Amino acid sequence: MLKKMGMIGPVIWVFLFGCIIYHIIVSDKNGFVEAKRFSKFEDLEIENRIKAMNKPAVKIIKTIDGESYGCVDFYKQPAFDHPSMKNHRYTMRPIWKGIMRKQNTSDAEFGYLWENGVGCPVGTVPIQRVTKEDILRLDSYGDNHKPCGSWNTTSYDPNSPLHFDQHHFAVARTKNIGRRFHGATMELCITAPKVKPTQYSATRIHVQIGRDFIQAGLTVNPVLYKDHQPRTFVYTYAHGKSCYNSNCNTGVLVLRRDFPFGMALKPVSIRGANTSYYGSFRLVMDQKYENWWFQFGNNAVEIGLWPWYRFNQSFGNLVEWGGEVYSAFLPSPQMGYGYFPVEAVRYDAYIQNISVLDRDYNTDHNVMDLEDFSDNTQGYKVIDTRNPKHRGGHIIFYGGPGNI
């Protein structure tokens, strides 16, 4: 009898351990992390965050992919809730008026992205609607899931709290030699790397502004977007706070009534095909007011704005172009097409026509002082070239299968 009772303990532990492992596997496959029980205070905090994001809307419209956006009064979008906005409303008034004039006269250039063929009414901007599930999903991965720069893996920021065994990079980046930058541009080949529910794979420009930074590019990020399509994203890190797109007051200020942040980039380029499809991204500072602008497309349409007082300095000190991946668990995901680059535009993921605005606001297409950086060449590689045989100017080839 005693022997039988003595065996009960180990049997129960084995059973419980098996249940835990099964739960983790099932949760990972479904892309969810089980929500904990929340206190009334925590529930109230989440409700307040939802309310701050889902501003009262004139109307709700949908993109051609079915995402819901609220058409919010321009001056009531989340970015205007940032404390710094209250202190600078007067000094920024000429800029706001200029933006509103453009809103009243501009055509709906990106109207084809909406079910209604137009976008939001004049005087409003589209802000994506969020749910409690969206917030909990993003919160469940914490700061580790958020974008960063490759410099944070080196001596540039030794105090960074992020776990860089989960982030990997294949980038070309400016050397830390004291240069000042007022912008950076790129055209990227649209790829759709394969990722698991807890991963992302992004291609982006990253401009470091002291301890702050901004990014723009494409990402396959099911935690953020709930699917596996390559989608546009903008990311802001300023004074210790961060935000994707326009989802909170730290995020970018939305300027257009017809551009949905987070839109799917189509069509996707096919490896080995004769034709590649591009997205054009620009992060540039204007010389008059020293505000940072996000511009998109071949016509460099002004899509978003960061006021000059949002950051701790008035210039960028480092720039990088290339891929960044994240995985909550090994193995790591694909980058680009999922193959190592061989310096061939037909077979490689690549970024072309890169440039920077220098300290005098002159455009530099050569960008000579670059270094290749991959933190783990077993999974990802990068080739930076100005070979005249390539028509895309200064080109960065990158990618890899991951699995490290």
* DSSP for residue 233: E
φ, ψ dihedrals at 23, nearest 5°: -65, -40
* Cβ 357 vs Cβ 184: under 8 Å: yes
Question: What pLDDT, on the 0 to 100 scale, is given for residue 275?
Answer: 86
Q: Which of 251, 248, 255, 246 is nearest to 97 (CA)?
A: 255
The rounded distance, in Å, linking the Cα atoms of 97 and 255 is 12
CATH of 154-230+265-404, one of 2.60.40, 2.60.120, 2.40.128, 3.30.2010: 2.60.120
3-7 LR contacts (CB < 8 Å, sep 24+): none
The rounded distance, in Å, linking the Cα atoms of 181 and 321 is 14
Domain boundaries, the chain: 40-140, 154-230+265-404
- 186-197 pLDDT tens trace: 999 999 999 999
The rounded distance, in Å, linking the Cα atoms of 60 and 49 is 19
Strands 278-285 and 253-254: unpaired
Residues in the chain: 404
Provide Rg for the chain, Cα atoms.
Answer: 22
Q: Report the first-to-last Cα separation within the chain, whole angstroms.
A: 50
Residues facing residue 198 across a β-bridge: none
Greatest Cα pair distance in the chain? 88
- 305-364 pLDDT tens trace: 999 999 999 999 999 999 999 998 889 999 999 999 999 999 999 999 999 999 999 999
The rounded distance, in Å, linking the Cα atoms of 229 and 66 is 13
Q: Which amino acid is at 120?
A: C
Question: What pLDDT, on the 0 to 100 scale, is given for residue 94?
Answer: 81
φ, ψ dihedrals at 13, nearest 5°: -65, -40
* Cβ 140 vs Cβ 351: under 8 Å: no
* DSSP for residue 141: T
Question: What pLDDT, on the 0 to 100 scale, is given for residue 361?
Answer: 97
Q: Which of 26, 35, 27, 349 is nearest to 204 (CA)?
A: 349
Question: What pLDDT, on the 0 to 100 scale, is given for residue 26?
Answer: 39
The rounded distance, in Å, linking the Cα atoms of 125 and 31 is 31
Q: Where are the alpha helices (DSSP H) in 89-149?
A: 93-105, 132-139
Residues of the chain with pLDDT under 70: 1-38, 89-90, 104-106, 152-165, 388, 404
Tokens 């490290």, residue located? 404
Instruction: Write down the pTM of the prediction.
Output: 0.87
The rounded distance, in Å, linking the Cα atoms of 107 and 299 is 14
Q: How many CB atoms lie within 10 A of CB 32?
A: 16
Burial class (CB in 10 A: 0-12, 13-18, 19+), 271: middle
Interhelix angle for 132-139 vs 40-53, to 10°? 110
* DSSP for residue 252: P
Token pair, residue 370, equals 């670059």
* Cβ 50 vs Cβ 135: under 8 Å: yes
Token pair, residue 35, equals 């929500």
